[in-house]
Structures are given as C-alpha cells and as structure tokens.
A and B are shown apart, each in its own frame.
Chain A
Amino acid sequence: MSSWLDYTINGLIIGNIYALLAVGLALIFGVSHLINFAHGSVYAVGAYIGWACFNYLHLPLPLTALVVVIVCAALGMVIERLGLRPLAGAPRIAPLLATIGISLVLDQLLQIIFTPDPRALPSPLPAWRIHVGGGTIGALDILIAATGIGSAAVLFGFLRFTKLGWAVRATAQDRDAARQMGVDTDAVNRTVFAIASALGGLSGLLVGMYFNHIDPAMSFQATLKGVVAQVIGGMGNVPGAIAGSLLLGLTESYGVALFGSSYRNLFSFALLLLILVLRPNGLFASRRATPPEPMTGTFIAPSKVLRVPPWLVVASVVVAALLPLVPNIPYALQVLTNAWLAAMLAISLTLVAGTLGQVSLGHAALLLIGAYASALLALDAGWPVWASIPAAGVLTALIGTALVAPAFRLRSHYVSIATLGIGEIVGLVILNWESLTRGPMGVTNIPTLAIGTLELDSPQASYWACLAILVVLALMQARVLRSHLGRTFRAIRDDDVAARAYGISLDRYKGIAFAVGGFSAGIAGGVSAHLYSYINNETFTSTVSISALTMVILGGMGNLLGAILGAVALTALPELFRGTAEYRMLIYGLALLLLIRFRPQGVLGTV
C-alpha cells in the first residue's frame, strides 16, 4: 500500500504549514490567554510584504524574509500597544473583540492597497525535488519544516534560558505576581507579540510561496486551522502546537483517503472535539495542569449597567412598530428587518455567552439548523409556515443542546473553541448529507412567511412579523432572567465551583440555557429561510457567528437590551457606510475598535 505512505507524507507537508501558524498563536495564548484573531491577518501582511520585496525591490529570499520579520514584528508591537494594552483593565473578552477588529482593518487595508485579485508569489528556491514514495518533496517543504521546528527550538531556548524568557513564563503563570516581582509585563507582552507576529509574517511568506498564491482573504482560514492545531497540541504549548499541527495534517489526509475531499474539514473538527472532550489540556499536557481559576468570573467582569427606563423601552418598541406607516422607506425597513433577525441571534448568544459565561463561536450553526428545519418541514412534510417555524425553534433547541452537551464540562476558551468546531461540523454535515439537505444545490422554492392564507411578503409585513417575534422572544428571555434560572445561570458564570457546592447541577442548567438560546436562534434561522426563499450551506457562515459575538460584546455581555441595540447598530452601520464602497468594511472595523477602546464593557454594560 504505497499510497498510504503518500497520504502520510502529504499529511505531514500540510501539517508542517499549519505548524508555522500554530506556534505563533500558541505563544500569544500562553502569555496573554488570548486567541489572537489578528494572527491570520499578520500572516497575510507578511505574504504581501514578501510579494512587494520580490516584485519592486527584487530582493533575494533571505533579505525578503528579514524585511518581513522586521516589519511584522513592528506590526505586532503596534497591535499590542494600540489594540490591546489600553484594554489591560477591561473585561477579558474585550481584547478578543479588539483582535477581531484589528484583523478586519488589516484585511481591508491589504485589499485596498493590493486589490482583491489573487497574486502569484513564485518561490525563488531551486526547483529540485526528491522522490519519496509516489510523490515528491521540494526545497520549500524542507525550508518550511526547518522554519517551524527551528523557531520552536529557538523559542524553547529563549523561554528556558534567557532572563526575558523567564519573565515571559512568569507573566504567563501569574501576571499580577510577576508584576509584584518587578517584571515589566508590558515589555513582556510587547516582546511576545513581536516574536509571534514575526513568525506569523514569515509563515505568510513561506505558505504564499508554497501555494504560489496570496490574496487578502487568506487570513481567516489560516487563523481557523492554526487555532485548531494549537488546541490539539495544548493551548499555549509551543512544542505541542507543532505536534498538534502534524497530527491535524495527518488526520485530514487520512480522512480524505478514506472518505473523499468533501469530508476533509469534518475530520479536523471531529478530532478537535474529541481532544477537547477527552484531554482538554491538549494531547501533550504532561501532567495535570493546575485547574484554572474560575476564569469566567474574571472573563466577564460585571460593570456599572446603564439602566434603560422601562418607558423608554416601551416607547422605542412603539416607534419601531409604527415605522412601516411612514411611506416609501422599504430599504430602511429591510435593514431593520435584518436587524431584528440579527437581534434574535444576539439575544440567544448573550444568554449563553453573557449570562451563563459560555462564549460560543459557532452560533451561526443554530441559524442553519433552524433554517433547514423550517424549510424542509414546509417543503417535504408539507407543514404550514406558521407551524414549521416554531417547530424549527424547538428542533434547534434540541439538536443544538445535544451537540454542545459534550462540551459542558469545558471552561472559558475551550468552550469557545469547541463551539467553533461544532459550528463548522454542522455546516459540513449539511453540505454532505444530501438525501436530507440537498447538499450543495441548497433548498429552493421555500414558501414565503404566511399566517394561514395571509402572505406576509411585503416589506412592511415581514418587518412587523420579525419585530413581533423578537419582542415575544425578548420578553420570554427577560422572564427567564428574572426567575431563579437567571440567578442560577449567573451563579454558574461567576463561580461554578461554588455553584456546584450549593447543589446546582451544572449540566442541567447549561442545557436549559442552550435550549432557550437555541430556540430563539432557530426561530431566526427559520424566518430567514422563508424570507430568502433559498438557502444553502453558505447562507450562514462562521463570519455570522463572529459578528453575532461582536453585537453581544458591544451591547454588554448578558444584557438583553444591549444585544438588541448591538444588533441594530452593527446591522445598520455597514449600510450607513455604503456610500464609501470598498472603504465600508474598513470604516466599520475602525468604528468597532474605537467602541471597544472606549466602552470595553459594552454600550449598556455587562450584567
């Protein structure tokens, strides 16, 4: 079976590439407990700097690599200084949002400067190739492996044998204690970001050469695979990140070998979940790591809540309800309809992420489940729309809770990554389960929203329908929050050890919260399906999950009104910036960064 040798080699080659990304992510996570979503963007910047050096300055590869390393290290320091250090005292979730904002800004800048056209980045290395098994290995593969292993070795030495390295490790273990001992933790952070970003940029250059292809959209996939790889190896564990990457590459390659390419990512995310559930500290955590402090309490710091007087809420709802009577504003109504739908997702997420403290990065999957459930019930089972949408809500609650249940034992960042993986798996299952979902062709001819024979297809009618559903869901959630359930959720968030000591069954209450959240999200998905009349696996992508999280953080974690406000703001802002064409998303990213900088606890405050 010589093919298995080839699959193994291919797995190692691509794992090699993931390793370059994972090492930088692991380093930053190890020190600042932050999933750096901007890492992929630095990687893209590195690739483009390399391209510019080759094409305009005609530099040889070593000099180009040097330029990339220097510029990206400087960029890393700038990110740390402008984006993250000002948030040192802010809730732990704020820097995460800041990295998302920075990533948006960097990607857009690249696209504006270099145009969105993909570019070739030919490797200047000699073209010889060694035959191994049925395939070949080239000079670039060896250079990538050497860079990955070499940088990990240098990092290991740096962390173990230098004074600054000790400071980095001390900061990683306990920032406050390190500071009391006289460690300049700001300098440590700066150093870590510089090193990690230099590595990120260098990997962008090498991977760009490997694929002979760079484009401004390359960053998100890179971050995703890097995060998965470093979780497999153990978050924050630098040598583990390399081993995890190789394992990920092998899993994908064998997965393709056994089932075909369309299942490829299914295997990576299944591996991720398996590792998270069985060995949450990573495959290579040699001993049981000290149990993390109940991080959730510090993860989401309570803040002074901006009280919104009830009359203002009622008045806003009344104004919103009367808005369709203004003639000739179908576009504004459509934007607000989108906002109400986004708000249904946001209140669902603010419940599980804010109130319960389980930050989900895969919430868009609930929309997909709801959309497919309602569409298929209406089309294949012949249900009327008024029945299929609530049924989709219930189904989403059940399926969503069942999917996330294995992750109930996880805490803080691990929950986020597990949900990220679950979200991707749902999308891939929908793509591949053709007999049920019609696969890549999607579901067409979904009936429009209707009550009985009354079709709600005008902009006004769908606006009212969505607003009414949102109000009902929000009232329902407000009721839950006021009951013992709300108090219990917050108790679990603030200190799950203490909550358990009081006899609270964590799993049961987490299940309830996810079910309530799943219901709202499922309804939102169902309504969308009937509004769009066509859905496929790309209708709700992982970017929807990220934007839902930004809405929730922006409004204030756990804050019901805040989530709705965040949804309206983040849906309307990109529409308001429309006149600026390509600059639209750039301005949006900058606005996001400013908001998080000056109001890290959210506009209405964390509850």
Chain B
Amino acid sequence: MPYLSRRTLLATAGLTPLVGRAHAQTDAVTVGVSGPLTGQYAQYGADWRRGFDLAVAEASGGINGRPLAYDFQDTQSDPRQAVAVAQRFVGDSRIAMELGDFSSAASMAASPIYQRGKLVQFGFTNSHPDFTKGGDYMWSNAPNQADDMPILADYAIGRLGFRKLAVVYINGDWGRTSKDIFLKAAAERDASVVANEGYLPNEQDFRSTLVRVRDTGPDAILLIAYYPDGAQVVRQARDMGLTQPVVATGSVYSPKFLELGGAAVDGVYTNANFFPDDPRPVVQRFVTGYRAMFGTDPGSYNARAYDAMTVAISVMRQFGTDRQAIHDGLAKIHDVPSVLFGTVTFDPATRRVSHPSSIDLVVKDGKFAVWKKAA
C-alpha cells in the first residue's frame, strides 16, 4: 500500500503532530503531496492519486534501494490549510520534495513557506504565469498556455479552417490566461473572434451564455474549460440547437468528458498531450499500466500526476534525496521520459518545461480518436 494513511493515522493518534513528532525512523523516501481530497475539487485529488499510485508502483526498485512512498495531505485547496501543510512538510525531515497544490490561491499562498524552508514545491497543474516566479524552489511541469494555445489555434484555424470563432472560457486564472493568449494567436492567424464569454467556475447553466454566442454567428466555438463544465457547455449547446463545431482545450481529455457529455460531445475537437494509441513507449507503458490497475483509460489529470511523480523519481535517483540536491538536480536533469512532453528538460531560468507533445483528436462514436485531415 503506497499510500500512507494507516501509518500516518497511528502517528497522529494523540497530539503528536502538533507538538512536534519524534520522527519515526522509516527508511522510505517520502514525497509530500498537498492537494484536495475533500471539498469541491476532490475529484481532481482522486485523479492525482491514481496517477501517483501507478508511478510509485512502477518504481518498484524504489530510490537507490530505499522504498518510495508519498504522503498526500488534504487541503481542500484552501489557502489556510495549504500553508499549514506546507509548514508541516518543511518541518518533517522525511519529506524530500513536495507536489501541488491544485488551485492557484492555495499553491501560491504556500509558496513563501516552501521557499523559506528550501523545500522544492513542484506544481504540476499550476499554469498561473507567476507560479514559478515565487522563488527558485518553485518548479512546474504544467503544460503552459503560451505553448498550448498557439497549438490549439493552429488546429482550429489552420488545420480545421475555422475563421470566425466564439471563445467560451472559465473565468479563473487559467481560463483567463488561456483566453488572452488564444486571442493573440487568433489575431496572428487572421481569424476573427466574434465573442468571448467568461463563465463563473461554479456555474452549471450555460444556455443564456450560448444564446449570446449564437447571436454573433460564429462558425465554431472554442471552449476553454475543464472536463465537467466543458461537457455541460457542449450538451446545452446541442440541446439549444447550436450546430457549430466545438474545439476544446486538452483539459477536457478525460473519459469523464465522454461520460458526462454523452452523445452531445460527438464531433468535439481537442488537442491532447497524449493518446492511448500513441506509439511512444512511455505512453504505452503508462496506458497499459493504468488500464491494468484501474480498468479505465487515463485522463489528462492522471497523466499530469504520473508525470510529476516520474520527474520526482528520476531526479531523486540521479541526484539523491537531499532537499538541496533535488533543487539543484532539477536544473540539470534532462530528457526524462514524459507522457505529456515526450521528454522533460527544465529551463533553469523559468523553472518550467516547454514544447509539450500534442495530438489532434476528435470525439467519434463516444471515443477519442486521432483526427486526420482527409477525414
């Protein structure tokens, strides 16, 4: 059981964590994870955990002879709890590095503590442009919008040939940055954006938003959304009789998008970072392993978590499990196999990775399929 709940449970009996724990000496190398296991983002925490479990199970040799474990602390992506967890990890000498948190509000509130405590905070879903500017201990392999959106624009405008787009985006920091970059990319490609509609993150009803979109007469809808709300937008568009094709960001790439969207999402175009039939060995290993372990196809959040843990494993195997060594090692490590990027090499200046791999997909008969120009 890679997940440490039982042992942490025993360790937590009584007030031990609050008054400083005499570190139970285990020889496991531990990666701290700060993320949502309960609360409104809990589904993403569950997605993460499946990716981590697979990566840890595959690293059967552990780290240079020591077993590998991860300690997932629930923060509900609430800044108050994220800072407490950050301080806990910093003060816990077992923790070699940290992964997470999920939302920008929680992750970036915790950054000063990781920075001062000299513990690497590895944000693998943190696309906020300022996340790695928090300090030299903030690293990220989150695919960032400056890479993703021009690729999506090439797909929608170049290859699919849409000239008049309506952008519908989730009005949070990720959706907002994506939209701004997309608008720029669209302008460079001489396509016009006739509408851009931001919706609130907890919204479920999009019908009136879609009427606004319809009235501008676009020839396609560009959707910047996560998979649950993305599915909802497409469903309601089809219910309302909007027939325009939909091109969505890779964040909708999840079996749940197909399940929640039903027949309505047939024909949705998206550009994902990987695909189960992708012949790259790292993808095949990931997808086969995932299917064997969980019986379903992986989605993009599983892949991100898997990739993040893979980077952690590689850096610790090469440079040791000392916190400073991990920090220095991330700058030197190169060509780590990655589901999302092909290979990962960090730019030491931005502490990010660029050039994700990308595949044009389309939903066909309730499944994601590779899109080909001739089709």
Contact = CB atoms under 8 A, between A and B. Distances in A.
Chain B interface main SS type: helix
Nearest to B134: A533
B12 A576 contact: yes
B203 interface: yes
Contacts of A328: 20, 91
A441 interface: yes
A334 B75 CA distance: 14
A136 B214 CA distance: 14
A231 to B, nearest CB: 20
A215 B200 CA distance: 18
A582 B37 contact: yes
A115 B50 CA distance: 12
B83 A10 contact: no
B243 interface: no
Given A138-B239, A256-B209, A217 B105 contact: no
A58 B265 CA distance: 25
Best-surrounded residue of B8, B92, B214, B260 (most CB of chain A within 10 A): B260
B290 to A, nearest CB: 15
Given A118-B228, A331-B84, A440 B38 contact: no
B208 A7 contact: yes
Interface stretch (A127-135, A478-486, A495-503): A127-135
Interface string B59-78: 00000000000001110101
B335 interface: no
B256 interface: yes
B349 interface: no
A147 interface: no
Contacts of B5: 579-581
A335 B108 CA distance: 18
Interface in A496-555: 528, 531-536, 538-539, 543
Nearest to A263: B200
Interface stretch (A74-82, A187-195, A442-450): A442-450
B39 interface: yes
Interface string A466-502: 0000000000000000000000000000000000000
Given A265-B200, A331-B87, A129 B239 contact: yes
Contacts of B171: 261-262, 431, 439-440
Interface string A182-221: 0000000000000000000000000000011101110011
A534 B18 contact: no
Contacts of B300: none
Nearest to A214: B260
B20 A332 contact: yes
A111 interface: yes
A212 B11 CA distance: 42
Given A108-B38, A131-B241, A448-B112, A120 B259 contact: yes
A211 B202 CA distance: 13
Interface band, chain A = 35 or more
B109 A533 contact: yes
B11 A579 contact: yes
B211 A10 contact: yes
Given A212-B235, A328-B20, A338-B83, A444 B177 contact: no
A329 interface: yes
A326 to B, nearest CB: 8
Chain A interface main SS type: helix
Contacts of B103: 538
A459 interface: yes
A444 B208 contact: no
Nearest to B15: A576
A11 interface: yes
B15 A534 contact: no
Contacts of B276: none
A116 B45 contact: yes
A196 to B, nearest CB: 23
A216 B173 CA distance: 24
Nearest to A440: B176
A442 B370 CA distance: 37
Best-surrounded residue of A117, A122, A428, A572 (most CB of chain B within 10 A): A117
Given A328-B20, A444-B108, A578-B8, A11 B208 contact: yes
A452 interface: no
Interface in A328-348: 328-335, 338, 341-342
A138 B9 CA distance: 50
B24 interface: no
Given A256-B208, A445-B130, A331 B228 contact: no
Given A3-B211, A342-B80, A440-B175, 16 more contacts: A116-B38, A135-B240, A212-B231, A217-B39, A261-B208, A328-B91, A329-B19, A334-B87, A334-B113, A338-B80, A457-B112, A532-B112, A574-B81, A575-B18, A576-B15, A578-B17
12 contacts: A10-B207, A111-B42, A115-B46, A211-B232, A261-B200, A331-B17, A331-B84, A331-B87, A334-B113, A533-B108, A534-B104, A585-B76
